Amino acid sequence: GEDVEQSLFLSVREGDSSVINCTYTDSSSTYLYWYKQEPGAGLQLLTYIFSNMDMKQDQRLTVLLNKKDKHLSLRIADTQTGDSAIYFCAPGDGGSQGNLIFGKGTKLSVKP
């Protein structure tokens, strides 16, 4: 089945850029999603990228996809303390396959 790997921790200073990386195994994913989870809360959809794209920009967020290497990254520009959370990448197909597979997530800590 699908396997998703992310580094567990990332610490940055406020105002710097953050880059969160993800590798996955299932090359059939049509869409790949990034979710954010704040303490004690459910997951919030941040952004997604279609598998035939290699980059998508959405305000402070930039998603890069290297389909050949099955590598996905999320860049957060001008990181703020409110960005501190756990970030999950989740390959999927937008619903027709049935379920998204999540890794353990990357805990982003932003220091003032």
Partner 1 sequence: DTGVSQNPRHKITKRGQNVTFRCDPISEHNRLYWYRQTLGQGPEFLTYFQNEAQLEKSRLLSDRFSAERPKGSFSTLEIQRTEQGDSAMYLCASSLAGTVYGYTFGSGTRLTVV
Judged by CB under 8 A, the number of residues near partner 1 is 25
**Binding positions for partner 1, 16-35, rule CB under 8 A:** 31, 33, 35
Provide, rounded to whole angstroms, the least separation between the CB of residue 23 and partner 1.
14
Q: CB within 8 A of 25, min separation 6: which ones?
A: 2, 3, 4, 70
Q: Which is nearer to partner 1, 2 or 14 (CB)?
A: 2
Closest by Cα among 38, 42, 51, 41 to 82 = 38
Interface residue with partner 1, options 11, 16, 25, 41 (CB under 8 A) = 41
Q: Which is nearer to partner 1, 38 or 78 (CB)?
A: 38
- Bridge partners of 48, per DSSP, are 33
Instruction: For residue 9, give the DSSP letter.
Output: E
Q: CB within 8 A of 66, min separation 6: which ones?
A: 54, 72
Neighbours of 32 (CB within 10 A): 26
Provide, rounded to whole angstroms, the least separation between the CB of residue 15 and partner 1.
28
Q: Which is nearer to partner 1, 14 or 73 (CB)?
A: 73
Binding residues (CB under 8 A) for partner 1: these are 4, 31, 33, 35, 41-45, 48, 50, 88, 90, 92, 94-96, 98-105
